[in-house]
Structure 1
């Protein structure tokens, strides 16, 4: 149906599945994943803000990554949970493109943060004597501000490009408003828009990825020059958490946005989008906490402090009762 001359009110998000008996399992999955994501990332933020040994550039960047991951899941998951409960699948035109704008802005900020974190690892391993000069707090803040400006402009371009299209259908085979899903609904030829997504999107996504790749080539070269195998393992272990997150994030992003339109599949796209929009932000704090001794020690310190405070409170309560 051509809606060119009609009053367009909004879209219908069909979610991950249109089958009614999938509603409860999907609700449970989204709810558990969202709770784990929020708790895990808030814990990382709490540890970084309260533990002085974590007041370093690397953990400053990790705190920003946790904040971005909370925002990324909060843009899509609460609305999805609400629609699964209420069965109201509609989303307004403005609401859809507002969601698209913030999702692409925050999602791409993840990519830039991972690149800045790669710079931190390069400076720590390849330029240890100049680390404090390279990774000054002012430098980190400037890099983050510049990144926010770039991803905001990128997201504004994508949002404007898709919101000005003419749509023949309002049933989005997705659980949030995303560019590939929106392009499939257009009445007009979207070849130009697809080329913009591929070319400009490649600069925004592949630029940080190539920077990360280059950083790790230099890191690996520096690690291999170490004389002992123990030293090589210990040095490279400081990068293992970051590298794991990078692989999770970019593998799903590349599959989702950088393949021919003829290979688009509504089913596969929805499943893959879950990886970078929910699973990766949920796993990030656990990857960093389980594979990082400093974070583990900070967690133990907080737990021990909590136990001591709890015992002190119980003793004071007993004394007052006596």
Structure 2
């Protein structure tokens, strides 16, 4: 890879997986497949949640927002990543790097908060079933989702303004997109201020929402244990199992990336973990939520039948 123009102030080099060129074709095909899956699966979730009146509930309102968020998140990363994987240069403009940094942080932080809201929704559904529709009425749900988007936006604005005022020693980002940990490593002085900022944001957007989720499911588990019938456990697993799986996949890799000791960090492990929670997990979320969900399966089947009927009608014309 030609690095002769690395000193250009209006461009950055994204190293990505250039140190392992034999893997780049495999990674590019894998990323493209998972990106297409993300677009198709999450779009299907949004459509059935909107078109099927039986799914006009708080849970599917949050799920459709999560699907939209995942589409935006991967779209802010994958197109530029594929261009760099397929081409000889691994360049991104200064503005493009700022936008990737901003949107990746914004969507990632918002997803953390949205997953916490979904845990609260499950708590209300299991522990407060008689008051569920009062607690989670449409107006409250919209305000909660708006607050999560706004909080993520504020965090992204503050972090982006801080990061891009730091003096940089070079323009080579050792990752496949301008993510916060990789970008801040090219700051001239990786000071305590930078470390404290990363850990503070990690606590706000990762640990606190995760703690809220764990408390919510702790209360749910305690409530279900009081039910002697096995049906209570089955209800909890059906209601909460999918969400807990998504939480484990997303938070596990994100916490390792943002809150690990820097001395224990290895670039290769970091890249593949980043690839996992930014590309692979968003494509799996719809599958995880639909595997045990009869309502979504029924709605998807209905949408498929309607689509085939429409195509058949058009072909006859």
Alignment TM class, shorter chain as reference: over 0.9
- Separation in structure 1 between the aligned mates of residue 8 and residue 67 of structure 2, nearest angstrom: 41
Aligned to 2:3: none
- Separation in structure 2 between the aligned mates of residue 200 and residue 310 of structure 1, nearest angstrom: 49
- Separation in structure 1 between the aligned mates of residue 102 and residue 312 of structure 2, nearest angstrom: 49
- Separation in structure 2 between the aligned mates of residue 310 and residue 70 of structure 1, nearest angstrom: 26
- Separation in structure 2 between the aligned mates of residue 73 and residue 272 of structure 1, nearest angstrom: 15
- Separation in structure 1 between the aligned mates of residue 244 and residue 8 of structure 2, nearest angstrom: 48
Q: Which runs of 4+ in 1 moved over 6 A?
A: 310-314
1:42 lines up with 2:43 in the alignment:
yes
Q: Is the 8 A contact 1:183 1:190 kept in 2?
A: no
Q: C-alpha displacement at 1:300, in angstroms?
A: 2.2
Q: C-alpha displacement at 1:200, in angstroms?
A: 3.0
Q: Is the 8 A contact 1:16 1:271 kept in 2?
A: no
Q: Is the 8 A contact 1:161 1:193 kept in 2?
A: no
CA distance 1:93–1:122, shift in 2 (3 Å):
same
1:303 lines up with 2:310 in the alignment:
no
Partner of 2:83, secondary structure, is helix
1:64-79 mapped onto 2 (5 Å cutoff): 64-79=65-80
Aligned to 2:4: none
Cα deviation code 1:65-119 (max 9, x no counterpart): 0000000100101111111222331112222122101110001111111111111
Q: Is the 8 A contact 1:10 1:90 kept in 2?
A: yes
- Separation in structure 2 between the aligned mates of residue 225 and residue 181 of structure 1, nearest angstrom: 48
Q: What value does the CA root-mean-square deviation take over the aligned residues?
A: 1.8
Aligned to 2:258: 257
1:25 lines up with 2:26 in the alignment:
yes
- Separation in structure 1 between the aligned mates of residue 43 and residue 314 of structure 2, nearest angstrom: 25
Aligned to 1:282: 283
Of stretches 52-61 and 193-202 in structure 1, the one that deviates more from structure 2 is 193-202
- Separation in structure 1 between the aligned mates of residue 247 and residue 133 of structure 2, nearest angstrom: 24
- Separation in structure 2 between the aligned mates of residue 289 and residue 227 of structure 1, nearest angstrom: 28
Q: C-alpha displacement at 1:21, in angstroms?
A: 2.4
1:131-280 mapped onto 2 (5 Å cutoff): 131-280=132-281
Instruction: Kindly name which structure, 1 or 2, has the bigger radius of gyration based on alpha carbons.
Output: 1
Of stretches 83-92 and 98-107 in structure 1, the one that deviates more from structure 2 is 83-92
Q: C-alpha displacement at 1:261, in angstroms?
A: 1.3
| Runs of at least 5 residues in structure 1 that lack an aligned partner in the other structure | 1-5
Of stretches 278-287 and 258-267 in structure 1, the one that deviates more from structure 2 is 258-267
Q: Is the 8 A contact 1:11 1:92 kept in 2?
A: yes
Cα deviation code 1:193-249 (max 9, x no counterpart): 111110232122212111111100011011111121133212331111111100101
Q: Is the 8 A contact 2:171 2:186 kept in 1?
A: yes
- Separation in structure 2 between the aligned mates of residue 162 and residue 91 of structure 1, nearest angstrom: 17
Partner of 2:177, secondary structure, is coil
Partner of 1:281, secondary structure, is helix
